[in-house]
Amino acid sequence: MFIQTEATPNPATLKFLPGRVVMPEGTFDARDPKGAAASPLAARLFEIPGVSGVFFGHDFITVTKSEGEWQHLKPAILGAIMEHYMSGAPILLTEGEPAEEGEEFFDPEDAATVETIKELLETRVRPAVAGDGGDITFRGFKDGVVYLAMKGACSGCPSSTATLRHGIQNLLRHFLPDVREVQAI
């Protein structure tokens, strides 16, 4: 098994490409060992000292470090990923699509605007951030403010504010004059 690695815009996060589908649908985000309990692979990665976050996308795994250097952490992470796939264990212990955290919130009269926001996120934003090892999902819309959840490499990334303000906010405002601002939850 050959696993490629890619740098992300977040220097604390590295993207691992195992050459196969990781999550057929949805994503998985664990920010601590307790959150990783639903995934044997995430739990195994959290056993490596210095690992502080694990995110699974369609065909990639991003790992965030709290300490240590990548040249020391990378071999242990590659070994854990390889051992997991060789074992045949599932990625998630529960069947079906993983639950998204938090409920969406918006006024019913804004349903058409919210639908357009979701479509723009799905077609124009999420593919780009997945390329960087992260994900951005809709959480809510209120008083002209769009609330988004940033995951994987996007969470805690130094350039995430610029991505929100100059990228996503400008895109949404271009198509939807009702949008005033974009904020991360």
Question: pLDDT (tens digit, 9 = 90+) per residue, 10-39?
Answer: 889 999 999 999 998 888 999 999 989 999
Q: Kindly report, residue by residue over 139-161, the tens digit of the pLDDT.
A: 899 999 888 888 876 666 666 66
Longest dimension (CA), the chain: 53
Q: What percent of the chain has pLDDT over 70?
A: 90
**The CATH number of domain 105-184 is 3.30.300.130:** yes
Which residue, among 45, 125, 13, 169, has the nearest Cα to 178 in the 3D structure? 169
User: Considering the chain, what is the average pLDDT of its residues?
Assistant: 86
User: Hey, what CATH topology would domain 4-87 get?
Assistant: Ribosomal Protein S8; Chain: A, domain 1 (3.30.1370)
Q: Report the predicted TM-score, pTM, of the whole model to 2 decimal places.
A: 0.71
Mean per-residue pLDDT, 101-123? 87
Q: Sketch the domain layout of the chain as residue ranges.
A: 4-87, 105-184
pLDDT of 98? 46
